[in-house]
């Protein structure tokens, strides 16, 4: 998605250890126009897939996932990183190692929102080593839900996430794929859509 690549070049900052800061438009301040186009692009790609739910992880996956869900006309679920006292029902839970925070956290979804009747589109802001995506996949597997695909806003292709996910039968679709990330120098490889 050329507009996204241009925005990464304009507002993205490469910081230490292969981390890209995009807090101008995605991970802190959110550009709704750009996120709407991101969500629409995922929705267009998966429109014939019979999606019933869009599933992401809080916090930064929510904006693109919500727009994709709206365009597909289905609900969006965000896996929660902390268990709320109001979550009394049975939870689908997975452990995720965070690349940026270097800690392990749990993600949880209530089993009343994701069931074996669902065909899920997974969405996240970044793909690095694939741990967050695997957490979402595990939550879907626990629910018995099938997975139509994984939509990633920014993939860092120099990390292992994509190869880790190749074992799954569904497509991984990234809108921007970063080949290398150095201070003041971000290069892209061909994106999926
Ligand atoms: P993974 O689980 O694939 O290793 O990393 C994906 C998760 O880590 C994403 O949900 C995202 O929150 C965070 N993440 C990974 N790499 C980056 C990065 O370069 N910049 C930012 N802002 N977040 C990242």
Q: Where are the domains of the chain?
A: 2-188
pTM of this structure: 0.97
Dihedral-angle region of residue 184 (phi above 0 means left; psi in -120 to 50 means alpha; beta otherwise): left
Q: What percent of the chain has pLDDT over 90?
A: 88
DSSP annotation of 17 reads: T
Q: What pLDDT, in 10s, does the model give residues 70-126?
A: 999 999 999 999 876 676 678 999 999 987 888 999 999 999 999 999 999 999 999
Q: What pLDDT, in 10s, does the model give residues 47-73?
A: 999 999 999 999 999 999 999 999 999
* Average pLDDT in the chain: 95
Q: What percent of the chain has pLDDT over 70?
A: 97
Q: Which atom of ligand 1 is nearest to the CA of 132?
A: 2
Separation of CA 103 and ligand 1 centre (Å): 12
SS3 43: helix
How far from the centroid of its chain's Cα atoms is residue 176's Cα? 12
* Residue 148 near residue 120 (C-beta atoms within 8 A): yes
**What was the pLDDT predicted at 82?**
81
CATH of 2-188, one of 3.40.50.720, 3.40.50.300, 3.40.50.2020, 1.20.810.10: 3.40.50.2020
**What was the pLDDT predicted at 85?**
63
Residue 110 in contact with ligand 1 by CB distance below 6 A = no
Residue 174 in contact with ligand 1 by CB distance below 6 A = no
**What was the pLDDT predicted at 163?**
97
Sign of CA dihedral 120, 125, 131, 135: negative
Separation of CA 145 and ligand 1 centre (Å): 24
**For 91, what's the count of Cα atoms within 13 Å in the CB-facing half-sphere?**
18
**For 101, what's the count of Cα atoms within 13 Å in the CB-facing half-sphere?**
9
**What was the pLDDT predicted at 88?**
66
Average pLDDT over residues 166-190: 95
DSSP annotation of 80 reads: B
SS3 114: coil
State the Cα–Cα distance between residues 3 and 131, nearest whole angstrom: 27
Separation of CA 135 and ligand 1 centre (Å): 13
Listed in sequence order, the residues at least 6 apart from 117 whose beta carbon sits closer than 8 Å to its beta carbon are 52, 145
Q: What pLDDT, in 10s, does the model give residues 26-38?
A: 999 999 999 999 9
Residue 34 in contact with ligand 1 by CB distance below 6 A = no
Listed in sequence order, the residues at least 6 apart from 163 whose beta carbon sits closer than 8 Å to its beta carbon are none
């Amino acid at each position: 998605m050329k507009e996204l690549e241009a925005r990464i070049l304009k507002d993205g900052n490469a910081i230490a250890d292969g981390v890209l800061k995009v807090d101008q438009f995605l991970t802190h301040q959110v550009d709704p126009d750009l996120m709407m186009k991101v969500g629409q692009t995922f929705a267009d790609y998966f429109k014939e897939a019979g999606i019933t739910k869009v599933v992401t992880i809080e916090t930064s996956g929510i904006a693109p996932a919500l727009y994709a869900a709206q365009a597909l006309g289905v609900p969006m679920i965000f896996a929660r990183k902390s268990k709320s006292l109001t979550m009394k029902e049975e939870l689908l839970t997975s452990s995720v190692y965070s690349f940026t925070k270097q800690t392990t956290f749990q993600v949880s979804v209530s089993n009343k929102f994701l069931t074996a009747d669902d065909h899920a589109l997974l969405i996240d802001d970044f793909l690095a080593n694939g741990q967050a995506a695997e957490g979402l996949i595990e939550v879907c597997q626990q629910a018995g839900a099938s997975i139509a695909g994984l939509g990633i806003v920014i993939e860092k292709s120099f990390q292992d996430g994509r190869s880790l996910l190749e074992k799954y039968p569904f497509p991984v679709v990234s809108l921007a794929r970063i080949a290398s990330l150095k201070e003041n120098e971000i290069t892209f490889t061909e994106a999926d859509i």
